[in-house]
Structure 1
Amino acid sequence: MNTEHILDAVHAKLAESDHPNPDAAMIADLIRHEAGVISDRDVFALLQKLRHDSTGVGILEGLCSLEGITDVVVNGVDQIYFDRGQGMEKAQLSFDSEEHIRALATRLAVACGRRLDDAQPFADGKLRRPDGSSIRVHALLDPPSDSGPLLSLRMLRSAATNLEQLTQRGTMPEEVSVFLSAMVAARKSFVVVGGTGSGKTTMLSALLAKADPRERIICIEDTAELSPAHPHVVNLVSVGANAEGRGEITLAHLLRQALRMRPDRIVVGEIRGAEIVDLLAALNTGHEGGAGTIHANSLSEVPARMEALATLGGMSREALHTQLTAAVEVIIGMRRTATGRIVSQIGLVRSDPVTIEVIWDARTSGSQGLAIAERWQR
């Protein structure tokens, strides 16, 4: 039985059909007509493959529905891995061929409003799910990949998580939750730092939900992930250049536009380049309570990391330290552990030159510095 030939013929018949939403029985009849003598089991297998080829995330659908799943990655035809909090696990699944992976990656990219082909061999976007969650999709074709088409899926469920739920899950103790709530209420500018998958975006979204409902929050991201439970949030998403190298809209461009949109709080989902210069400038011109995330493994690495990013925007080390001291007050460190994601440290920004004073550390549980929240509450 030539499976691909049968499926191609069925696809063609469905395209010519007057029925916009053919049911399973109709499709099964088409399969039997094209295949001739075929068992019910084979018909079901072809129906399942048709569904995988046209809806959801294909054969990865079951993995994406697992409890606690955060990531699914495809490294090859039979190299599918997933993460549900205990590190990468190998899935007992496989694609038919590299062309099958490429077809799925292309379909997902198009569903995200992105282009993926030989002229644009990588794509990054967000796919909305019927259950209200979203999946961040990243695809990379061959070339430049030397391992065939690669696909990475990240489950995004931050919209359904608030600070109270994070506290109940053990992300932080109650005293830290109280401190962070007071920080947001006092309109202190803050940055959430941590490694990949440490929960930075989830924490940022939960904290923004604590902002006064009368405030206007403008979130600027490369891929829309922030969905805080707040009544007045505007999301701006960067746009990559087209095949002709035109039409690019960067985070820095969006930051400048945000300043003209009457923001109460300006938030950058992930600070990763020259936009740090515009963000610090915005936070130093009366826009209190701004926030963002940045990749750093510990609080002590933050000054050096920001120095490197500021250099991309033409800002000197001295200017960065001056701007940072005036713009950002609190640094929140996130860490991924074997049992989940936790707040690992909280620090305050000190100057000349910039250093981070750790006022709370999960390893020592020292909380003397959290008393500063009492002054903010007053």
Structure 2
Amino acid sequence: MSTTTDVGQGVDGALLAEVRGRLVRSGGVPSTEHVMQVVRECGAVLGSRALADLVAVVRAELLGAGPLQGLLEEPDVTDVLVNGPRDVWVERAGRLEQVDVDLGTAEQVRTLAVRLAAAGGQRLDDASPVVDARLPDGSRLHAVLPPVGGACTLLSLRVLRRRAFTLADLLASGGVAPALEPVLRGLVASRANVLISGATGTGKTTLLATLLSLVPADERIVCIEEAGELEPDHPHVVRLLARRANVEGVGEVGLPDLVRHALRMRPDRIVLGECRGAEVREVLTALNTGHEGGWATVHANTAADVPARLEALAALAGMGRESVAAQASSALDAVLHLRRDGGRRRLAEIGVVRRGGAGELVVVPALTVRGAGEAAGVAGTEGAGRAAGPGAEVDVGPGWELLAARVGLADPQVAG
């Protein structure tokens, strides 16, 4: 039985299954000597090469991510999803595909999930059947045990890629339209306060890390996160990571606390990896007290939905709609919205944050990337007249003049 498409070739499947089963039942960390002892107990007679291969396969299965480890190490894999022992999927280049991986039995999938959760410092059992954890290599684990997850344990692994992308990389891939480059650079240089919005898996963290790499080297960036995913190419970055309560229910350090602590750490830029709860109150307060150049990400379906999302999150901190509108319109300058089209992640819209005629919080469209054809470049910039990316063009909205003035573009016009 093959554990991945290339692991375990040449190893007797029946023997592998028996050795693996005995080791799982015995518990503990399977050392090389322990595996060899179990092989002998199974009555197998192997040459030195065959024995070494079997030991390597068994240890690969029972340590790290087991039979999933090879998938996690593939450079183009971003997510590994397990729905059952022989129902494994990966995301490559923005597209899901099923892979030929055999995880054995449902019990072995559960054992793998429990071990991975423990490696991330979390408990996963019948009393706590759902877990989010950060693994030692930085990957994110989400696991759900039966019956909450149906008949089999469900695993979702988000791979952390340590590579720092440059803005040139995103331009070359079509993730950012060339006409938007001077605007993005201007947002960083002018120390605007910006939200990056989008659905799950649209590349919010990647874009944020890329833009933080443009921050001048003499500035201090304080990143506040739950999972420690941000890896900007910058010489002065410090990280504050939230911590959940332990099994006794103590020791929690939440994002709202970390935002308050970050203010005492002499930050030039405060960055919140993901705004997902009551910490929105602390972030808005910080950005309204002279802290410029702040960045955060938030889940939203469209840029126009960001105000409603902020209101919902702020309600968790006891803030009313009027208070959110007043603070957010004062604290935030722009929203960058990401979309996923046909497996490709791209920056789809830039809007400015303002209050509407009735005092409500709104995001006014400034630049929208859409359609096929040539982009309307921003006059007076290197992007003028060039394609906005593969099959895309840029529309100018009513918020463009406000945005151009904020980022310091000399000529707030769009070339036809």
Report the TM-score range of the alignment, normalised by the length of the smaller protein: 0.7 to 0.9
Judging changes above 3 Å, is the alpha-carbon distance between structure 1 residues 372 and 168 closer, same or farther for their aligned structure 2 residues?
A: farther
Between 326-335 and 72-81, the greater mean CA deviation after superposition = 72-81
Determine if contact 1:124/1:139 at 8 Å carries over to the other structure. Answer: yes
Question: How far 1:320 sits from its partner (Å)?
Answer: 0.3
Question: How far 1:334 sits from its partner (Å)?
Answer: 0.5
2:165 maps to what in 1?
161
Matches within 5 A, 1:169-318: 169-318=173-322
Between 355-364 and 35-44, the greater mean CA deviation after superposition = 35-44
Determine if contact 1:186/1:376 at 8 Å carries over to the other structure. Answer: no
Between 137-146 and 261-270, the greater mean CA deviation after superposition = 137-146
Between 187-196 and 88-97, the greater mean CA deviation after superposition = 88-97
Query: 5+ residue gaps in structure 2?
Result: 1-13, 371-392, 412-416
Q: Secondary structure at the match of 2:113?
A: helix
Separation in 1, partners of 2:406, 2:304 = 22
2:389 maps to what in 1?
none
Task: Determine which structure has the larger helix proportion and give its number.
Answer: 1
Q: Please say if 1:360 is aligned against 2:367.
A: yes
Residue by residue over 1:40-92, the C-alpha shift from the partner in whole angstroms, topping out at 9 and shown as x without a partner, is: 69857743541223333211123223342211111112221111135322222
Question: How far 1:375 sits from its partner (Å)?
Answer: 1.9
Between 110-119 and 269-278, the greater mean CA deviation after superposition = 110-119
Question: How far 1:298 sits from its partner (Å)?
Answer: 0.8
Question: How far 1:3 sits from its partner (Å)?
Answer: 5.3
Separation in 2, partners of 1:315, 1:15 = 49
Question: How far 1:105 sits from its partner (Å)?
Answer: 1.5
Residue by residue over 1:243-279, the C-alpha shift from the partner in whole angstroms, topping out at 9 and shown as x without a partner, is: 2322222111111111111111111111111110111
Q: Secondary structure at the match of 1:187?
A: coil
TM-score (norm 2): 0.80
Residue by residue over 1:1-24, the C-alpha shift from the partner in whole angstroms, topping out at 9 and shown as x without a partner, is: 67566447679999899xxx85xx
1:349 maps to what in 2?
353
What is the identity, as a one-letter code, of the residue corresponding to 1:278? E
Instruction: Specify which of 109, 112, 136 is matched with residue 140 of structure 2.
Output: 136
Separation in 1, partners of 2:34, 2:77 = 32
Instruction: Specify which of 371, 375, 378 is matched with residue 408 of structure 2.
Output: 375
What is the identity, as a one-letter code, of the residue corresponding to 1:93? V
Matches within 5 A, 1:54-133: 54-129=62-137
Separation in 2, partners of 1:361, 1:166 = 17
Separation in 2, partners of 1:283, 1:15 = 49
Judging changes above 3 Å, is the alpha-carbon distance between structure 1 residues 59 and 11 closer, same or farther for their aligned structure 2 residues?
A: closer
Judging changes above 3 Å, is the alpha-carbon distance between structure 1 residues 256 and 77 closer, same or farther for their aligned structure 2 residues?
A: same
Q: Secondary structure at the match of 1:366?
A: strand
Separation in 2, partners of 1:187, 1:284 = 13
Residue by residue over 1:145-190, the C-alpha shift from the partner in whole angstroms, topping out at 9 and shown as x without a partner, is: 2232111011222642122211111111223122111111111000
Q: Secondary structure at the match of 1:365?
A: strand
Separation in 2, partners of 1:70, 1:159 = 13
Judging changes above 3 Å, is the alpha-carbon distance between structure 1 residues 128 and 10 closer, same or farther for their aligned structure 2 residues?
A: closer
Judging changes above 3 Å, is the alpha-carbon distance between structure 1 residues 260 and 373 closer, same or farther for their aligned structure 2 residues?
A: closer
Judging changes above 3 Å, is the alpha-carbon distance between structure 1 residues 90 and 12 closer, same or farther for their aligned structure 2 residues?
A: closer
2:326 maps to what in 1?
322
Separation in 2, partners of 1:246, 1:126 = 19
Percentage of matched positions with identical amino acids: 39
Separation in 2, partners of 1:28, 1:354 = 63
Supply the RMSD in Å over aligned alpha carbons. Answer: 2.9
What is the identity, as a one-letter code, of the residue corresponding to 1:147? A
Residue by residue over 1:270-320, the C-alpha shift from the partner in whole angstroms, topping out at 9 and shown as x without a partner, is: 111111011100100111111110011111111111111111110010010
Q: Secondary structure at the match of 1:166?
A: helix
Q: Secondary structure at the match of 1:120?
A: coil
Q: Please say if 1:150 is aligned against 2:150.
A: no
Determine if contact 1:184/1:211 at 8 Å carries over to the other structure. Answer: yes
What is the identity, as a one-letter code, of the residue corresponding to 1:152? S
Determine if contact 1:159/1:205 at 8 Å carries over to the other structure. Answer: no
Separation in 1, partners of 2:113, 2:65 = 9
Between 324-333 and 237-246, the greater mean CA deviation after superposition = 237-246
